[in-house]
Chains A and B, each alone.
Chain A
C-alpha cells in the first residue's frame, strides 16, 4: 500500500519527527491523512486525533474497542453516581460461536462478528456506546436509560440479531443468535466499573445457562411509590410551578 510521502515533518522546535509508521498505520486502516502543511502544529494535532481514534477502535468491526469501553464505563459510572440518572450496561455474547467457526471457517466467523456489530449499532440510540470487548463478546453502555425500558431495548437488540441472515459465502447464508445480560449502574452510590461488568456478566451467564438467545436483566428494586401515591403527593396546586 503506497502512501503520499509528506515532506519530513518537524516539531515546532525544528526537530525532525519520525512519523512513517504512524502514517502507515493510518493509511492501512483506511483513515484519511490529516490535510494541510505537514510541518504545522494543526497537522500534527490532526495526526494525533486520527491515531487516538484508531487506538480506540476495534479493527474488525470499527466499534469501540476494549480500551475505549473501559474509559467510557468509568466515566459513566461516575456520572450516574452523582446525577442519579439510570444507566444500563448490556453484556452480549454470540451463541455457539465456536460451532460457526468450526463448520464454516474463520472467515465466516469474522462475517458473523461484523454482522452482529452492525445489528447492535442499528438497534440502539446514537448516544449509546457499542464496543467489542473480546472475541465474540460485545458490550453496550446505555446512558440515561430508565429501568422501565431496559427489557424493551435488550429484547429489540436480541430480536434484531435473531432475524438477521449473515452471508458467509456465495449464496450461503447462516443465522446466529446472541445472549444478553444486563445490569443498571447503582444510582447515588459510588461503585466500580469492574463490579458493574461483573453484575452484567452474571446475568449473561444466566441467559446462557437457561438456553441462550435470551435476555436476562438484574431485577431492579421495585418502585416503592405507586402512581396513586405520586398523584396524591403533587395534587395540590402549590407544586405545579415546580413541574
Chain B
C-alpha cells in the first residue's frame, strides 16, 4: 500500500471533525456531550466551533463569551484567552456571531484556522471540530484539517442522503477512506447497524469501484431518541450533567469509551 490515499503525515488523529451533511441532526449536541464524556474518562478535550457562519455551541452551553475565534483572527486577543473551560470539564473555542463574513472561505481564513488548530492540537488529547451543516467549502476545508471524521446521521431519508453525499465528496475530493458513523435519534435497537450497512452498501456500489482503496464506514455507536435530550437542550445544559443515567447519556459514554480505546 505505497499509494495510501491518506498520508501518515497528514492531520493528527486527535483532531476529529464532526460533520453531518444535513443540519438539525444533533451535531453540536453530540460534539458537546461527547466532549464531556471524553473528559470524564480523564481526557483533555477541546471543542472548536468551526461552524463559522452559524455558530451555536455557545447557545447549547448557555455561554456568553467575551472572546471568540473572531477576536483571535482579527488579532484582538490571544488564542489562550479565547479557550474557555466549561462546566463539562472540557474547553471550547467559539466562533462568535460576528463571523458572517466567513461564510465564504478566503485564503486568509484558511491560514488562520489552520494555524489555530495546529497551535491547540498539542495541548489536548482530543480536538473536536464542530463543522457547519452542508458541504460548503468551509465545511470541506475544516474536515481537511482533521485526522478523523465523525459523521452524525439520523435514520431518516434526508439525513441519510446528505451523509452519503458528504462521504462521497470527501472520499473523491480529499481521498478520505475512514469514516466514523454515529447514528443519532435511533428508534429501535440495532438501527445504527442497519444505517451503517445501508450506507456501506451504496458506497460499495457507487463510490468504491472508482477508488484505489475502498471507503470503510465504522459504526462508533447509536444514540437512542430520548426525551431527556430535548430537555437538556431547552435548559441549555449538557445531558451528561443533567441526566447521566439517561439512555442517550449512556450511549454517548459508550462512544467515548470506544474512541479512548481506539
Binding site for B on A (CB under 8 A): 81-82, 84, 186-192, 221, 224-226, 228-230, 232-234, 236, 238-239, 242-243
Which residues from B are CB-within-8-Å of A187?
Answer: 134
Seed contacts A84-B133, A189-B138, A236-B194; 6 additional CB < 8 Å A-B pairs: A84-B23, A188-B54, A190-B53, A190-B100, A190-B103, A228-B206
Among candidates B22, B136, B206, residue contacting A229 with C-beta atoms closer than 8 Å: B206
Q: Which 10 pairs between the two chains have the least Cβ-Cβ distance?
A: A190-B53, A188-B134, A188-B133, A242-B156, A189-B103, A190-B54, A224-B165, A232-B202, A225-B165, A190-B103
Asked, given contacts A224-B169, A236-B198, A238-B194, whether A243 binds B157 with beta carbons under 8 Å apart, the answer is yes
Q: How far is the CA of A189 from the CA of B55 in the complex (A)?
A: 10
Which residues from B are CB-within-8-Å of A242?
Answer: 155-157
Kindly report which residue of chain A lies nearest to residue B197, judged by CB atoms: A236
B71 within 8 A of A: no
Q: Which residues between 179 and 200 of chain B lie within 8 Å of chain A, taking CB atoms?
A: 191, 194, 198-199
Q: Is the interface of B mostly helix, strand, loop or mixed?
A: helix
Which residues from A are CB-within-8-Å of B169?
Answer: 224
A81, B202: Cβ atoms under 8 Å?
no
Q: How far is the CA of A239 from the CA of B132 in the complex (A)?
A: 26
Which residues from B are CB-within-8-Å of A82?
Answer: 23, 54
Taking the closest CB of chain B, its distance from the CB of A225, in whole angstroms, is 5
Provide the B126-146 mask, 1 if CB < 8 A to any CB of A, else 0. Answer: 000000111110100000000
Which residues from B are CB-within-8-Å of A228?
Answer: 206
A234, B157: Cβ atoms under 8 Å?
yes
Q: Is the interface of A mostly helix, strand, loop or mixed?
A: loop
B168 within 8 A of A: yes
The number of chain B residues touching the other chain, given as a range, is: 20 to 34
Q: How far is the CA of A221 from the CA of B160 in the complex (A)?
A: 19
B77 within 8 A of A: no
Which residues from A are CB-within-8-Å of B161?
Answer: 225, 230, 233
A-B contact count (CB 8 A): 77
Taking the closest CB of chain B, its distance from the CB of A74, in whole angstroms, is 12
Among candidates B132, B168, B201, residue contacting A189 with C-beta atoms closer than 8 Å: B132
Q: How far is the CA of A190 from the CA of B134 in the complex (A)?
A: 12
A189, B164: Cβ atoms under 8 Å?
no
Which residues from A are CB-within-8-Å of B155?
Answer: 238-239, 242
A229, B164: Cβ atoms under 8 Å?
yes
Which residues from B are CB-within-8-Å of A188?
Answer: 23, 54, 132-134, 136
Q: How far is the CA of A188 from the CA of B132 in the complex (A)?
A: 7
Q: How far is the CA of A84 from the CA of B254 in the complex (A)?
A: 32
B205 within 8 A of A: yes
Kindly report which residue of chain A lies nearest to residue B203, judged by CB atoms: A229
Q: How far is the CA of A192 from the CA of B115 in the complex (A)?
A: 27
Q: How far is the CA of A219 from the CA of B31 in the complex (A)?
A: 34
A186, B202: Cβ atoms under 8 Å?
no
Asked, given contacts A186-B136, A188-B54, A191-B53, whether A225 binds B100 with beta carbons under 8 Å apart, the answer is no
Which residues from B are CB-within-8-Å of A225?
Answer: 161, 164-165, 168
Q: How far is the CA of A239 from the CA of B157 in the complex (A)?
A: 7
Taking the closest CB of chain B, its distance from the CB of A191, in whole angstroms, is 5
Q: Which residues between 152 and 184 of chain B lie within 8 Å of chain A, taking CB atoms?
A: 155-157, 160-161, 164-165, 168-169
Which residues from B are CB-within-8-Å of A236?
Answer: 194, 198
B53, A189: Cβ atoms under 8 Å?
yes
Asked, given contacts A81-B54, A239-B155, A242-B157, whether A189 binds B136 with beta carbons under 8 Å apart, the answer is yes
Which residues from A are CB-within-8-Å of B160?
Answer: 233-234, 239
Provide the B88-127 mask, 1 if CB < 8 A to any CB of A, else 0. Answer: 0000000000011101000000000000000000000000
Taking the closest CB of chain B, its distance from the CB of A127, in whole angstroms, is 22
Kindly report which residue of chain A lies nearest to residue B206, judged by CB atoms: A229
10 A-B pairs in the complex with CB atoms less than 8 angstroms apart:
A81-B53, A84-B133, A188-B132, A191-B100, A225-B161, A232-B202, A238-B155, A238-B194, A239-B156, A242-B157
B156, A189: Cβ atoms under 8 Å?
no
Kindly report which residue of chain A lies nearest to residue B162, judged by CB atoms: A225
Taking the closest CB of chain A, its distance from the CB of B138, in whole angstroms, is 7
Q: How far is the CA of A221 from the CA of B101 in the complex (A)?
A: 21
Taking the closest CB of chain A, its distance from the CB of B139, in whole angstroms, is 9
Which residues from B are CB-within-8-Å of A233?
Answer: 157, 160-161, 164, 198-199, 202
